[in-house]
Amino acid sequence: MLLRHTAVALLLASVVGAQTVHVVDGGGGAAFTTIGDALLAADPGDVVLLRSGDYDEFPVINEGISLLADAGAVVTITSLSVIGIPSGETVRLRGFTITEGPGAFPGVLNVGSCDGDVVVEECAFLSAAVPFQSGGVRITNCNTVVISDSVIAAPDLSLTSVGASLTVLNASVWVFNSEITGRTGSTVSGPFGSPGDGDDAVQVSDAYLAIAGSTIRGGAGGAGVTTPFCTPGGDGGFGLGLDDGAVVYVADSIIEGGAGGVGLGTPGCEDGAPGAPTIIYGGTITTANPDALVRGLSTNSPTREGQTLTVSLTDLAAAPGDFAWIMFSTSPSSVAGSPSNTFTGLLALDSPTLIFLGALPATLTLDLSSVVPDLGPGFDLAQLDLQGLVLDASASSFVPTSPSSITLLDASF
């Protein structure tokens, strides 16, 4: 136990920062009422902190700024773009939901032309049923995008197809402990209509995509309706599609096609065909050691001075001989972990420092807690990226957990 408290103390001692926090409250209880105005006032390294509210905006982030929901806040945004982040800067997005509304183009989240890093954690991206909009999450021409503990999905029974829920083009993307689901096809709108096919979950072209501890599932086909005529069910969408130049690495993940829709009407009306788990038009896919489990890591960030910071290793299912470390760094990694006989999974940190935690307990969760100290005069915030590392005895391999980050705030915010 002393060792674990010492580990958190060392983490806190490693965090440095002297940036500014910009608080947004749509109800008027802060310096800013809109995200867009706060972003205009922010400089690289600053945090835009969101209090609870529905922000009907289309903000654009074009420098290394963190956009974070405050602890316990319920935040929704209409759409978000992250464009042109310079090398050496990091954008962090955490804790909010984007529910695509009319006018949101090209979708719920557009990340493009970023030489710097983009880190997404504990977010939900929900494409709406808005006609003539592309929907989904699109990542194009980016060096490093890390998505963890997030959901990318679309509502059922849409009247329009938006394509894949996640599209990766000429980019390097890591996905940890997340769920990505294609849109369910529409039902029949009239006696002579036909159900829509389910949309695909993920499409990769000329890009690197690494998937760890996640579920990828194509959208189900739309169902028929009971009429005097046959309305066959729509086909399910595929889970993962690879085009030319795609390189995909999969560790401890589920990839499934969508179910075919139910056919109704005249007797014997056919159900739709299930979607394929994977469609390979080009590129390559590699599957990691199937015995290696990708555990989770979470933090109760953002956390203020005097509050308790908790770092949790989850989904442990530990066996005798399993040991753990905490790794930390001030920036994400731009190089993916490579499968080998002794290392399985994805390293999401750049040149990390390791702290040994010891043998994993038999419980499913290991919590490391410590009170956040005073950040010091002139320090409004501090940030650090974390990842666990587990020696998995059954797999005879070192397996990184999902990544997380901590943001510490001055008590005045």
Whole-number pLDDT of residue 162? 65
**Nearest-CA neighbor of 14 among 390, 388, 409, 385?**
385
Whole-number pLDDT of residue 102? 56
Architecture of domain 20-153: 3 Solenoid (2.160)
Whole-number pLDDT of residue 2? 40
Whole-number pLDDT of residue 280? 95
- Residue span(s) of the chain under CATH 2.60.40.1930 come to 296-409
Distance of alpha carbon 120 from alpha carbon 249, whole angstroms: 19
Instruction: Say how many C-beta atoms besides its own lie within 10 A of residue 225's C-beta.
Output: 17
Q: For the domain 296-409, what is the CATH superfamily, name and number?
A: Macroglobulin (MG2) domain (2.60.40.1930)
- Residue span(s) of the chain under CATH 2.160.20.10 come to 20-153
The answer to whether 239 and 278 are in contact (CB under 8 A) is yes
Distance of alpha carbon 144 from alpha carbon 114, whole angstroms: 8
Residues of the chain whose pLDDT is less than 50? 1-3, 190, 336-341
Whole-number pLDDT of residue 339? 47
Instruction: Say how many C-beta atoms besides its own lie within 10 A of residue 40's C-beta.
Output: 11
The answer to whether 196 and 178 are in contact (CB under 8 A) is no
Whole-number pLDDT of residue 346? 76
Q: How many residues does the chain have?
A: 413
Whole-number pLDDT of residue 340? 47
Query: What's the token pair of residue 246?
Result: 């795609």
Whole-number pLDDT of residue 131? 53
Place of tokens 């059922």: 156
For the chain, give me the number of helices (H) and strands (E)? 2, 31
| Strand 202-205 to 240-242 pairing | parallel
Whole-number pLDDT of residue 342? 56
The residues near 88 (Cβ < 8 Å, ≥ 6 apart) are: 64, 116
